[in-house]
Amino acid sequence: MSARYEVELSLVIPIYNAATFIESNLETALRFLDEHAPSSELILVDDCSTDDTLKILERFRDRAATPRVRVLHNPVNRGKGYSVRRGMLEAKGRFRVFNDADFTYPVDNVMRIVRALAAGADVAIACRLHPDSHYIVNSQFLWKLLSRHWTGRVFNFVARVLLVGDLRDTQAGLKGFTARAAEAIFPLQRMDRFSFDVETLFLALRRKMKVTEVGVQFIYRKEPSTIHFFGDTLKMLRDMFRIRGRAARGDYDRDPSADATESDPRGSNEVHAVQTERAE
């Protein structure tokens, strides 16, 4: 391992209003890291939750009593994309993986992502359409899942035409990056909400990085609001054209390393993350 990277694996979890379930998931995550990745850290990014999430995260960190568990707090709600970006740029790991807080992708899937990175991928993404993936679905949501699947296929078709080529699943909430890839992509990433996934993949492909799709287990436990789902889909479609516009203007062409200081590259990245968010 390069001396530059203090741990082998950074697991980043963006969190918002998760007080009802997050504590047990964090216990599961820490046990998983203890068993499978002793050289690791757990970075928890609270996106200005309005419930008791932050108190639970801080209590968990204090009880764990290890510098491996870090809690970051956004003083205002910024969105999942901002929280992932902040966690990735604060991370110290050779491999950096983010996973949704509800563990729709159970935490043991993280090692599938890590193995793909260790095998040579710059970016490894969960793919629900991969032949090795399988679903666990609550039967009451089966038809809703099918309708969302076909709507998602339409969105993915547009994303493939405009931005991501042959990638079949841009929105899965489990993705991993080598440190080099993360430090090249995330200082340029601008989308703060759900469109950040497709933007990060576009940036990886634009820089000729190897992106590998990984089969995973996917647990469909709950149904988000249909209104929000279709509304967010329309927003993401709009955002894809914004990404193309930025690319045409050359906004993604600068060298992120030019922003880093020799003394503390993570500090300068954090400042950049705030600057790009304000510009969005």
Query: pLDDT tens digits, residue range 105-129?
Result: 999 999 999 999 999 999 999 998 8
pLDDT in tens, 165-213: 889 888 889 999 999 999 999 999 999 987 899 999 999 999 999 999 9
CB 175 within 8 A of CB 211: no
| Beta bridge partner(s), residue 14 | 45
Residue 5 has pLDDT above 60, yes or no: yes
Architecture of domain 7-279: Alpha-Beta Complex (3.90)
Per the confidence metrics, is the pTM higher than 0.85? no
- The confidence score (pLDDT) of residue 134 equals 79
Q: What percentage of the chain reaches a pLDDT higher than 70?
A: 77
pLDDT tens for each residue of 135-156: 776 555 555 555 555 556 666 7
Question: Where do the structural domains in the chain lie, given as residue ranges?
Answer: 7-279
In the predicted model, is pLDDT for residue 16 greater than 70? Answer: yes
